[in-house]
Amino acid sequence: MTSTNSPAVNLAKPASATSGRVSGESSMWFFIIGDLFIFGAYFVSYMYYRGQDQQLFLEGQQHLDQWIGVVNTLVLLTSSLFVALAAEGARNGNRKTALRMLTIACALGVLFPVLKMIEWLPKLDAGLTPGESLFFMYYYLMTGLHLVHVILGLIILGFVFRELKTAKHPNIGFVETGAVYWHMVDLLWLLLFALFYLMR
Amino acid sequence: MTELAVDTANRSAVPWFKNKKLDQYICFWSVPVFYTLFGLVFVPLSYMMPPRSPAAGIAEVVSFMQSPTLLIASAILILVLGLSAVANACYAVQIRRMSVSPVFLYAFLAGSMVGAIVGCLFPMFCFGLGAFRPGYDPEILAMLYDFGYLSFIGSLGCFCLNWGVLSLAIVLDKNAILPKWLGYYTAWQFATELFAATVWIAKDGPFAWDGLMAFWFNIVIYVPWQIIVYVCVFMAIKNQSETELYSSELESAAPNEKLAYS
């Protein structure tokens, strides 16, 4: 069991090796699929409790700013695009481009928690705390859990940056693992945005 | 691989009581003993679990807090809580073998110690105290009831640290002591602790201490994790090369010590 997962080693493969295989490490796919199941269960429970008292949830939703939600979505989608470009650059052996793309992706990623604070703090000041109603409890917890994922993603992208910057032969599998995780963070946000901001 | 083969051959030749990993195996098998007692105390002996409602009426709280079996349950758990340290030692030994900074090991040990005190000893004192002397004011019993459940289900930071450290150590480890996917699974434990924070705010519904989001989802993730992690720790002990054992380190250190003292 212990020998099935090889430690991070140099996996600089020729371009032909990239076709017909799954991007990233299998353990990360285990995490992603599991994470989607867990979020899925949370979403189902949200829908259930929303169905129990739809009026309360709709009233809570009135306090959310859809525009900041749209900006958050655009920031994350664009960031994901640049992560994909960085992975593509790394695969093609174009380290400089990969680093440049990753820097833009990280800068956009850092913007996300800042936007969250801009969104949360005035609400908390106005007394819309998690204790206000079940909607706000779900809202802060789910977006908070997503924010934890974003911060973890930024840490992972930091390690990817170091790999691309310092490794003699960057580990492409590791770069892809980071990219795949970042795409999942993106996907989760799309679902959160639809459920909390848009659904009427 | 050859070392492992030699280990296996040696293992079959020596009797079990001379096994160099006997200390680790004894620690390991204390874990099911601990969790069996843990389960007995919490479910049939006291009915503390599944958690009672935070919105329970005062009469219900008083009858629970003054049930005679609650005092026995609390006394048993206070007595055997030391075994949780042994259980955590099993993880700690494996973290020590990983190619990560010693900071991980020390943080894990400190976190698990705080976790055992706040998450287990505090509630047992609260419930035990309620049952200790008849005639306590019902309001005081209600407060002890809240204190007991809040510290049992809502003690988060130390566990966040524990799971975070263990998860990160497994993922960063290059010696592949524990499987990487277990590191990611452990990261979910961290997330469930975040959801348990809501018990400090909600007194009913899915985020209360007996709620779907704050308790039941967490249990569904936690129970298989606890079983899987021990199977993985068992495999790690089994696969550990005998040349890497502490006892052999001590043996090799002993002659030098003698020299130093002579």
Q: Which of A5, A34, A148 sits opposite B180 (nearest CB)?
A: A5
In the block, residue with structure tokens 């005639």? B135
Least confident of A13-22, A46-55, A96-105, A175-184: A13-22
What ipTM, to 2 d.p.?
0.79
A79 touches A102 (CB < 8 A):
no
Q: Three-class SS of residue B240?
A: coil
Distance CA A132, CA A125 (A): 12
Q: How far is CA A127 from the centre of its chain?
A: 28
- Asked if the C-beta of A6 comes within 8 angstroms of chain B's C-beta atoms, the answer is yes
- Closest residue on chain B to A48 (Cα): B206
Residue B151's closest CA among B192, B178, B189, B123? B123
Does residue A137 surpass a pLDDT of 70?
A: yes
A50 touches A133 (CB < 8 A):
no
- Asked if the C-beta of B241 comes within 8 angstroms of chain A's C-beta atoms, the answer is no
B182 touches B232 (CB < 8 A):
yes
Residues of B in Cβ contact (< 8 Å) with A28:
184
Question: Tell me: the pLDDT tens digits for B201-214?
Answer: 998 899 999 999 99
Question: Tell me: the pLDDT tens digits for A107-134?
Answer: 999 999 999 999 999 999 998 999 889 9
Tell me the helix, strand and coil percentages in chain B, rounded to 5: 80, 0, 20
**3-state SS string over B26-59?**
HHHHHHHHHHHHHHHHHHHHCCCCCCCCCCCCHH
B174 touches B120 (CB < 8 A):
no
Q: Measured between CA atoms, how close is A31 to chain B, in angstroms?
A: 6
Question: Tell me: the pLDDT tens digits for B190-240?
Answer: 888 888 889 999 988 999 999 999 999 989 998 999 899 989 999 999 998
Stretches where chain B sits below pLDDT 50 are: 1, 248, 252-262
A82-85 contacts at long range (C-beta below 8 A, 24 or more positions apart): A82/A108, A83/A157, A83/A178, A83/A179, A83/A182, A83/A183, A84/A179, A84/A183
The pLDDT score that the predictor gives to residue B12 is: 58
Q: Which two tokens stand for residue B29?
A: 């098998």
The pLDDT score that the predictor gives to residue A17 is: 47
Residues of A in Cβ contact (< 8 Å) with B179:
1-2, 4-5, 27
- Asked if the C-beta of A176 comes within 8 angstroms of chain B's C-beta atoms, the answer is no
Contact A145 B205 (CB under 8 A): no
- The CATH code belonging to domain A66-198 is 1.20.120.80
Under the banding of pLDDT at 50, 70 and 90, the label for residue A139 is very high
**For residue B95, how many other CB atoms are within 10 A of its CB?**
22
